[in-house]
């Protein structure tokens, strides 16, 4: 009898897996990446969730591996040869990996330059490692692009269901990506989550656990970065940011905290807490000159499944008795472009609540802008901090990017305004541009933001002048013309 039951369970599981694959093929673009023809992240997470549930049900009789590949160096190529050319490289890589895996394995494009594999019925690290080695070997032949050879390099992270105790798809992906970072930093062909992680990764895990197990405020402080209209100098809104604030936790490398906050499964925990604090801020009786500013909650690269985020928004709006008008969620462009219908459905639900969506990009991810036409974001957040320069050619490239964004969204927040030259450059851009960065203000704690303190210089946000910033030279007095 137990043997018959096992056969029935296994047959049912196989039928369900083939049903999922059938749905993916029938539903087309909603679950498929258009560049490679592979499944997208939305489908990948669904299949991974199914595999995790199956592993929990069958115990030692079934196991699987999650493998994440990241193609390195493509951002620089996009800047030099363009998006379409790099799409050819991505498609070529996808085809190479496709021939390295079994027909029963599920492969997907999970990010701009990243691919994921679920290796079905894989219980040994050695089996997953063989796939990683085959993929690495397939890259020995360079890609030919515009008549020149382009070498490819890849970082590979693996997590095994037999070792990894989590059973949620976003967390399994996060752990494989953590191993991927270890692979890249150590120069190894691949790295495996678990006992083989190096000391740095163990510190990451410890820090992540501290954040998830505690409350926001115990170890991490939510801050508000003001954004202003560069022409009127009026306060337009705030963006959330997290800062390490623990005095009780010692022995951890807190220099990793920002990456942990945005690239680990601590992300959803913190984002939901930030939504609560943002709603409390909006519900307060603070009086602002002019229109009440929006609060933009930045969701980070690994916000997790969108459903809990939407639920948190509904819950917090109802708890504070406010509409969603002043709340905005900033979503990385990769999530919008590669998450598929699940994420699109969440965006539609947020719109019904009155919550506007911003999309975050930087110059290296601008290639995904063309995928935003259907999203119709209320704003686009452009991060130029890493690429800011006084070089005229770079300034012009940034200006072209901003104009492209304004063709999609009515408002563009430029983050990375660090000095007077940056601020004057922003003033020269078209209407609809908002300035943010340390020149405008450091990120403030909630009481300072509520009291409208901007670097301790201004008592009101209304009508302040360039001369209010003491490191901006005032215009010279007009020259008196004299006859010779």
pLDDT digits (tens, 9 = 90+) for 310-362: 888 999 999 999 999 899 998 877 666 655 556 677 888 888 999 999 988 88
> 139 and 79 share a domain?
yes
Q: Is 224 exposed, middle or buried (0-12, 13-18, 19+ CB in 10 A)?
A: buried
Whether residue 130 sits in one domain with residue 43: yes
Residue 12 has a pLDDT of 56
Q: Which of 323, 419, 404 is nearest to 371 (CA)?
A: 404
Q: Do 183 and 212 have their domain in common?
A: no
Tens-digit pLDDT profile for residues 246-267: 665 555 555 555 555 555 545 6
pLDDT tens digits along 177-202:
888 888 887 777 788 887 555 454 55
| pLDDT the model gives residue 477 | 39
| Cα-based distances in Å from 92 to 99, 118, 143 | 11, 20, 8
The reply to whether 292 and 419 lie within a common domain is yes
Q: Are residues 174 and 281 in the same domain?
A: no
* Averaged pLDDT for residues 40-44: 87
Instruction: Give the CATH number for residue 174.
Output: 3.30.70.270
Tell me which residue range forms the domain holding 305.
206-468
| Range 60-75 average pLDDT | 87
Measured distance CA(122)–CA(120) in Å, rounded:
5
Give the DSSP H or E segment for 212.
helix 199-213
| pLDDT recorded at residue 399 | 92
- Which range scores top for mean pLDDT: 74-83, 318-327, 459-468? 318-327
In a domain, 475, yes or no: no
Domain boundary among 155, 178, 197: 197
**264-294 pLDDT, tens per residue?**
545 667 788 889 989 998 988 776 666 788 9
Give the mean pLDDT of 94-117.
85
Cα separation of 299 and 269, whole Å? 11
Residue 14 has pLDDT above 60, yes or no: no
Instruction: Establish if 481 belongs to a structural domain.
Output: no
Confidence (pTM): 0.60
379 found inside a domain: yes
One domain, residues 213 and 256: yes
Position 231 in a domain: yes
Query: Would residue 326 count as lying in a domain?
Result: yes
Q: What is the CATH number of the domain that holds 292?
A: 3.20.20.450
The answer on 258 and 157 residing in a single domain is: no
pLDDT in tens, 420-457: 888 889 999 999 999 998 888 888 877 777 665 443 33
Find the mean pLDDT for residues 105-119. Answer: 89
Position 62 in a domain: yes
Q: Are residues 241 and 313 in the same domain?
A: yes
pLDDT at 1 > cutoff 70: no
Q: What is the DSSP string of 312-380?
A: HHHHHHHHHT--STTEEEEEEHHHHHHS-HHHHHHHHHHHHTT-EEEEEE-GGGGGGGGGGTTT--SEE
The answer as to whether 127 is a domain residue is yes
Per-residue tokens: 420:
């007077």
Claim to verify: residue 403 and residue 312 sit in the same structural domain: yes
Number of domains in the chain: 2
Instruction: Examine the fold and report which residue of 154, 174, 197 is the final residue of a domain before the chain moves on.
Output: 197
> Are residues 149 and 7 located together in one domain of the fold?
yes
């Amino acid at each position: 009898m137990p043997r018959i039951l096992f056969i029935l369970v296994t047959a049912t599981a196989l039928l369900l897996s083939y049903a999922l694959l059938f749905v993916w093929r029938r539903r087309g673009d909603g679950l498929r990446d258009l560049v490679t023809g592979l499944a997208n992240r939305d489908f990948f997470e669904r299949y991974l969730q199914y595999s995790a549930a199956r592993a929990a049900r069958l115990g030692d009789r079934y196991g699987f591996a999650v493998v994440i590949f990241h193609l390195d160096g493509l951002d620089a190529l996009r800047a030099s040869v363009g998006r379409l050319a790099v799409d050819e490289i991505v498609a070529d890589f996808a085809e190479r990996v496709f021939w390295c895996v079994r027909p029963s394995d599920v492969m997907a494009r999970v990010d701009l330059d990243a691919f994921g594999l679920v290796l079905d019925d894989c219980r040994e690290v050695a089996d997953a490692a063989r796939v990683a080695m085959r993929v690495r070997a397939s890259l020995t032949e360079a890609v030919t692009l515009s008549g020149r050879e382009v070498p490819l390099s890849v970082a590979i992270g693996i997590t095994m269901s037999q070792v990894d105790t989590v059973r949620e798809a976003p967390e399994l992906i996060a752990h494989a990506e953590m191993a991927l970072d270890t692979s890249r930093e150590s120069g190894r062909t691949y790295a495996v989550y678990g006992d083989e992680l190096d000391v740095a990764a163990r510190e990451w895990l410890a820090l992540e656990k501290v954040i998830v197990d505690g409350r926001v405020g115990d170890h991490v402080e939510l801050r508000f970065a003001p954004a202003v209209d560069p022409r009127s100098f009026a306060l337009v809104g705030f963006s959330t940011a997290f800062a390490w604030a623990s005095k009780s936790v010692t022995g951890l490398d807190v220099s990793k905290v920002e990456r942990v906050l945005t690239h680990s499964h601590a992300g959803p925990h913190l984002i939901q807490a930030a939504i609560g604090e943002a709603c409390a801020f909006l519900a307060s009786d603070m009086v602002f000159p002019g229109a009440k500013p929006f609060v933009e909650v930045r969701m980070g690269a690994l916000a997790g499944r969108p459903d809990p985020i939407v639920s948190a928004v509904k819950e917090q709006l109802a708890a504070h008795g406010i509409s969603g008008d002043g709340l905005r969620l900033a979503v990385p462009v990769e999530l919008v472009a590669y998450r598929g219908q699940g994420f699109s459905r969440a965006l539609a639900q947020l719109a019904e609540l009155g919550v506007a969506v911003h999309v975050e990009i930087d110059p290296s991810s601008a290639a995904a802008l063309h995928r935003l036409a259907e999203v119709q974001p209320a704003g686009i957040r452009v991060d130029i901090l890493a690429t800011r320069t006084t070089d005229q050619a770079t300034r012009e490239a940034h200006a072209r990017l901003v104009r492209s964004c304004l063709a999609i969204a009515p408002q563009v927040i430029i983050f990375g305004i660090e000095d007077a030259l940056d601020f004057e450059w922003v003033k020269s851009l078209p209407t609809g541009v908002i300035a943010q960065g340390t020149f405008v203000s450091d990120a403030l704690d909630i009481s300072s933001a509520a009291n409208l303190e901007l670097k301790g210089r201004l008592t009101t946000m209304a009508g302040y002048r360039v001369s209010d910033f003491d490191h901006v030279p005032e215009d010279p007095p007009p020259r008196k013309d004299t006859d010779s």
